[in-house]
Amino acid sequence: MMARRIPSILPDLTFEEALEVTKIHSIAGTLLKDTPIITKRPYRAPHHTVSASSLVGGGRIPKPRRN
């Protein structure tokens, strides 16, 4: 339950951070067409049984996932 509250207590993205996150999603091809810029902090709550390798990417070509 505590991990689900973390996004609500994190500070808002600065404009530079929002641009950086948007660029990453754009290059990865995961940017939605109706979303010109990402304004929410990227955050994922992994399952408690996640392995160390899957937590850091788990693949040869890392790319962000859509929420």
Contacts of 10 by beta carbon, 8 Å cutoff, 6+ apart: 41, 43
pLDDT in the model for residue 17? 94
pLDDT in the model for residue 15? 95
pLDDT above 70: residue 58:
no
Please write the tens of the pLDDT for every residue from 7-36.
788 888 999 999 999 998 898 888 888 888
d(CA 66, CA 18): 16
d(CA 30, CA 25): 5
More confident residue, 2 or 9: 9
Instruction: Select from 49, 42, 47 the least CA-distant residue to 64.
Output: 42
pLDDT above 90: residue 51:
no
Average pLDDT over residues 40-64: 75
